[in-house]
Amino acid sequence: MIRQLGMAAMLFAAAACASAQAQNFPQRPLRMVIGLPAGGSTDVMGRIVAAGLAERLGQPVIVDNRPGASGMIGISLAIASQPDGHTLIMAAGSWGTISALYKPSFDLQRDLAPVAFIGTSPYVLVVQPRLPVKNIGEFIAHAKANPGKLNYAGSTPGSLQRLAGELIRRSAGIDMLYVPYKGTGAVIPDLLGGRLDAAIDNVLVLSPFIRKGQLRGIGVTGAKRSVVLPELPTLAETGLPGFNAVGWFGLFAAAKTPQPVIARLNAEVASVLRDPQTRERLLAQGAEPQPGTPDELRQHLAREIEVWGKVIRDAGLKAE
């Protein structure tokens, strides 16, 4: 009986301590590390979320851009930070490729703690209007009838846009040529000029050209239709069942960050994302807010590492 009372007292004390941790957090300004240059979609997303968090937490959230080594400089910094929730890092879709492409010394799933899933940024497959195809089924049939003659681009060689094209190629069993570019800015002129047959990129970037009839939208690459182009079906709807490849964003902290602190951060991020003004700002960037739990983010990262790792290994892709 005495042992049971002692155990109950210990559990009560632990619960009280955990509650105090969450209530006393944060005790100083937070830092949000972004392992990519300022001005990109991940940076813009991070700054929007940081502003909302600062308002709710009553402490500044300082955005710290640490670009370089395909985001790994920022990741290493976050891993080495004090595990108390005051340093966060904004994850991007490219995290799913890091392990297979670069084989870093760290392990994303072991060395970082998921905090909150933030949202997705869908891609869209577009073609030249001169191509006689209107959906992914017709695109696949045309590619099979003309093996090796179609070319496509998808941002940079290691990007998810490029890998989404590789996944289409392998899923459909078609032969088409990937043309490497240094970024979306170089892809658009060649698309409009007819030097490229197809491309995959952010729906917000390509939607103006689709609406003007300069490019034909074949389908969005996510599991559901995009709010930016709701009239355009997904690739899964029109010929590639189960296909799902999207950019995504999430927040992580150093491993061993106390769970009560993570729970507090997750709740505050969810509140930020549900704010109508914040939601409109994110949608204007082509991102679709999707508040999610730490466990949902953990599962999502695991899936991304598995899917893109297989694509990279099967295609024999190497880091540039």
> What distances in angstroms separate CA 180 from CA 44, 125, 155, 165, one per listed residue?
25, 16, 8, 12
What's residue 159's pLDDT?
Answer: 86
What's residue 20's pLDDT?
Answer: 59
Q: Which helix (H) or strand (E) holds 252?
A: strand 246-254
Q: What distance, in Å, lies between the first and last C-alpha atoms of the chain?
A: 65
Per-residue pLDDT of the chain (320 residues; tens, 9 = 90+): 566 555 544 544 444 444 556 778 999 999 999 998 888 889 999 999 999 999 999 999 999 999 999 899 999 999 999 999 999 999 999 999 999 999 999 999 999 999 999 999 989 999 999 999 999 999 999 999 999 999 999 877 778 999 999 999 999 999 999 998 887 788 899 999 999 999 999 998 899 999 999 999 999 999 999 988 999 999 999 999 999 999 999 999 999 999 999 999 999 999 999 999 999 999 988 889 999 999 999 999 999 999 999 999 998 888 76
Outline where the chain has alpha helix (H).
2-24, 41-57, 72-80, 95-102, 108-111, 136-145, 160-172, 184-192, 203-211, 259-274, 276-283, 294-315
What's residue 14's pLDDT?
Answer: 42
Q: From the centroid of its chain, how far is CA 85?
A: 21
> Could you tell me if 118 and 246 are in contact, meaning their C-beta atoms sit under 8 angstroms apart?
no
Question: What pTM value is reported for the model?
Answer: 0.87
What's residue 181's pLDDT?
Answer: 86
Q: Which two tokens stand for residue 211?
A: 């609406």
Q: Which two tokens stand for residue 267?
A: 């709740």
What's residue 1's pLDDT?
Answer: 58
Which residue spans of the chain are classified as CATH 3.40.190.150?
A: 2-121+246-315
What's residue 13's pLDDT?
Answer: 42
Does domain 122-220 fall under CATH 3.40.190.10? My reply is yes
* Burial of 21: CB neighbours in 10 Å, binned 0-12, 13-18, 19+: middle
> What distances in angstroms separate CA 130 from CA 149, 155, 203, 211, one per listed residue?
14, 22, 21, 16
Which residue spans of the chain are classified as CATH 3.40.190.10?
A: 122-220
What's residue 285's pLDDT?
Answer: 86
> Could you tell me if 250 and 116 are in contact, meaning their C-beta atoms sit under 8 angstroms apart?
yes
Q: Which of 303, 258, 276, 311 is nearest to 117 (CA)?
A: 303
What's residue 49's pLDDT?
Answer: 97
CATH entry, 2-121+246-315, from 3.90.870.10, 3.40.190.150, 3.40.190.10, 3.20.20.30: 3.40.190.150
Residue type, 242: G
